[in-house]
Amino acid sequence: SQLAEENSWALSVHEGESVTVNCSYKTSITALQWYRQKSGKGPAQLILIRSNEREKRNGRLRATLDTSSQSSSLSITATRCEDTAVYFCATSSAGNKLTFGIGTRVLVRP
Amino acid sequence: DMKVTQMPRYLIKRMGENVLLECGQDMSHETMYWYRQDPGLGLQLIYISYDVDSNSEGDIPKGYRVSRKKREHFSLILDSAKTNQTSVYFCASSLGTGTDTQYFGPGTRLLVL
């Protein structure tokens, strides 16, 4: 089965700085999604990037996908305290399921 | 406003009791999911439902069963709950499957004593 995993357990930045969360996976995929989960809430999708795309942006968020190295990154610029959350990557293949990584905790300090 | 709801939000049960977790969505999505989330393990898929009475096991179905009699409702049932089923349970829905965005509910925190 495929495995998606983020490469850091936790990251801490000051408000206004940029932060990057990395993800690696082990099998071919059709798409990769980034989700954010704030404390006490369910995950919410941030970006979907398909296997034939290399970069996708959504406001202050930028996701990249490198299928040759089977890796992806999510960068957040001009971070705010409300960006504090757990960030997950999730991969989909030819089947019907998403496989989620265990998540990276991002703490944005004032 | 697109919404997935879960009831109850918090539940305490004794080992051996039956548990019913309910999920609803107002988006007429065909596909619904049940996940559990444990520290260090991420989200694990328990069951997926493709439509009414069309359910399929996920990665960890043992000890669980589901019911979907209406498109907008999806129930997770634990018959004779076990202490290792203590977890946070999330329901999600999507228009289709595969790369479609999944919309998650707020979760149910279940404690089995």
Classify strands A10-14 and A104-109 as parallel, antiparallel or unpaired: parallel
Q: Do A42 and B97 touch (CB under 8 A)?
A: no
> How many whole angstroms separate alpha carbon B45 and alpha carbon B60?
6
Model confidence pLDDT, tens digit, residues B30-83: 999 999 999 878 899 999 999 999 999 999 999 999 999 999 999 999 999 999
What CA–CA distances, in Å, run from B73 to A3, A36, B50, B96? Answer: 30, 25, 12, 16
Band (A2; pLDDT cuts 50, 70, 90): very low
Per-residue pLDDT of A32-86, as tens digits, reads: 999 999 999 999 999 999 999 999 999 999 999 999 999 999 999 999 999 999 9
Query: What is the span of the domain harbouring residue B65?
Result: 4-88
Residue B78 lies in a domain: yes
Interface test with B, best of A1, A28, A96, A99 (most B CBs within 10 A): A96
**The two three-digit tokens of residue B24, written as one number:** 């609803």
Q: Cβ contact (<8 Å) for B98 and A30? A: yes
Contact yes or no for A101/A73 (Cβ under 8 A): no
Residue range A4-109 in CATH 3.40.50.150:
no
Measured between beta carbons, which residues in chain B are less than 8 angstroms from residue A40? 106-107
Q: What is the CATH number of the domain that holds B43?
A: 2.60.40.10
- pLDDT for the residue A1: 34
